[in-house]
Structure formats: C-alpha cells, structure tokens
Amino acid sequence: MILVADDDAQIRDVLRIALAQAGFGVAEAKDGRAALESAQSLRPSLIILDIGMPEMDGLEVCRALRKTTEVPILFLTARADEIDRVVGLELGADDYVSKPFSPREIVARVRAILKRSQGDTAPQGVMRRGIVSVDPGRHLCHVNEIAVTLTAREMDLMERLIARPDHVMPRPQLVDAIYGTNVNVSDRTMDSHLRNLRAKLAKAGCADAIETVHGIGIRMGACRGA
C-alpha cells in the first residue's frame, strides 16, 4: 500500500488514479498529523509526502517517522524550495519530485524505490570491507556487530561502493547507477545522501568508510574504524 499525503485534493486524486492503474493500493491523508497517524497504523510500503501541509509539515512528519521506521519516503516539493529538498533528504527521505510533476514519473520513482527497499535484485551475499559488512538482499549493514539502519538510497550507495571498494566512481556514474539515466539529480541531493551515510557509519565506529577523491569521484575507504 502507498500512502499519499497532500492537502491538495486534486493532487491526491491524480496520484490515487495513477498508482491504482499501476496496481498499487492507495491510502490518503490530507494533513501532516493524519499522515503520521496513518503511517503508524497502516504501515504502508512507501509514503508520498508533501512538504507544505497543515497541522504538521512534511519535514516534521518525516522527522517523527525516522525515529521508529525506515519506510521509504518520496517528497513532493515546490520548485523554489531547494532548501526544503535538501533538509528532507538529510532527514532520511529517499527521493523527491518537484511540482508540477508527471504522474508517470511518480509511478516510475515509486517502483524504483520499492525495488531497492525490498531487495528485488539477484542475491549477492554479504560483502565486506574492513569492519563494515553489507547484505543487500536482506537490507542489512553492520559496523563490527553494530547494526546501521539505512534508507533505500543509502543502501544502494553502500552496495555500489563496497562491490568495487578500490574503484573510484565518478559522481555522474554514481548518480546514473542509483537514480537511472534521464533523471535530473542535483549535486546537493547526492551530497545529502553521502553526508547522511557517512554520519551513520561514523556514529557506529567507522569514520573512514567513504572517501571523496577530489575532482574524480567517490570510493570506499579502508573501513578500519577508530
């Protein structure tokens, strides 16, 4: 089930129809507080969350949800609200789409996020680098014995980097691998995901997990920890 949270009834209608035609069950919420309550009671597979809602805005809802769940979140934002997009990603959202949007793009992004979050890929087993281990099939990441909870985007990043730990991935190649081609993703979006991932790994005891090779790209660090 997909939870669509937006105070605009017309947008909810458009998304409900598009998602239903794609085979998804849909629940709706017209404000932030209702979205939070529905997310906690219905446990949807993914939430489409508008930032500018009454009662609680989308950022508040995301912040509250991330205390208890890593349910995938796709933000809807106004074109001018770049700071909101960045803050949303830093809070743990998986993706965002700017208004006005194409319903087909929303459906495509929902499918892509669910595919990643549900591990709909060929089993690869556990991959290790120093004190870090990643099991993409079960969506698990550990630093030594400490579990690190990752969003779908963060797990995708880890999987790409740890699969070729000594290879430097150019940023455009990394963006294409995670978001797909023909999708416009800003540098700040990728920076937000990388910043979140670094912070989570560092908190678990591995501050050297991801290296930036200036002017070239990103690679997996030695992962030796403190």
What CATH code is carried by the domain that includes residue 157? 1.10.10.10
Residue 226 lies in a domain: no
Does 126 have pLDDT greater than 60?
A: yes
pLDDT band with cut points at 50, 70 and 90 for residue 3: very high
Taking only Cα atoms into account, the Rg of the chain, rounded to an integer number of angstroms, comes to: 17
Kindly state whether residues 105 and 20 are assigned to the same domain. yes
Does 35 have pLDDT greater than 80?
A: yes
Dihedral (CA of 8, 95, 62, 36) sign: positive
Residue 106 lies in a domain: yes
Q: In whole numbers, what is the pLDDT of the chain averaged over residues?
A: 86
What angle in degrees, to the nearest 10, is found between the helix axes of 187-203 and 171-179? 90
Write out the residue range of the structural domain in which residue 16 sits. 2-117
Kindly state whether residues 109 and 188 are assigned to the same domain. no
Kindly state whether residues 141 and 191 are assigned to the same domain. yes
Dihedral angle over CA of 185, 189, 194, 197, nearest 10: -120
Number of domains present in the structure of the chain = 2
Which strands, in side-by-side order, build the sheet including 73-78?
26-29, 2-5, 46-50, 73-78, 95-99
Q: What is the pLDDT of residue 123?
A: 45
Kindly state whether residues 93 and 134 are assigned to the same domain. no
Assess contact for 88 and 58: CB atoms under 8 A: yes
Q: What is the pLDDT of residue 181?
A: 55
pLDDT band with cut points at 50, 70 and 90 for residue 122: very low
First to last CA, the chain: 42
Residue 207 lies in a domain: yes
Residue 225 lies in a domain: no
* CATH code for position 81: 3.40.50.2300
Kindly state whether residues 74 and 150 are assigned to the same domain. no
Of the residues 58, 90, 117, the one at which a domain ends: 117
Residue 122 lies in a domain: no
Of the residues 75, 97, 117, the one at which a domain ends: 117
Segment 175-188 shows an average pLDDT of 68
DSSP E strand stretches across the chain = 2-5, 26-29, 46-50, 73-78, 95-99, 127-129, 132-135, 140-143, 146-147, 169-170, 210-213, 217-220
**pTM score, whole prediction:** 0.62
User: CA 26 to CA 28: how far, in whole Å?
Assistant: 7
Of the residues 92, 117, 142, the one at which a domain ends: 117
Residue 61 lies in a domain: yes
Q: Which of 62-76, 116-130, 137-151 has the lowest mean pLDDT?
A: 116-130
Cα–Cα distance list, 45 to 8, 70, 126, 165, 213 (Å): 22, 10, 25, 31, 36
Residue 20 lies in a domain: yes
- Summarised one tens digit per residue, pLDDT across range 137-178 is 888 899 998 999 998 888 888 988 998 888 888 888 787 777
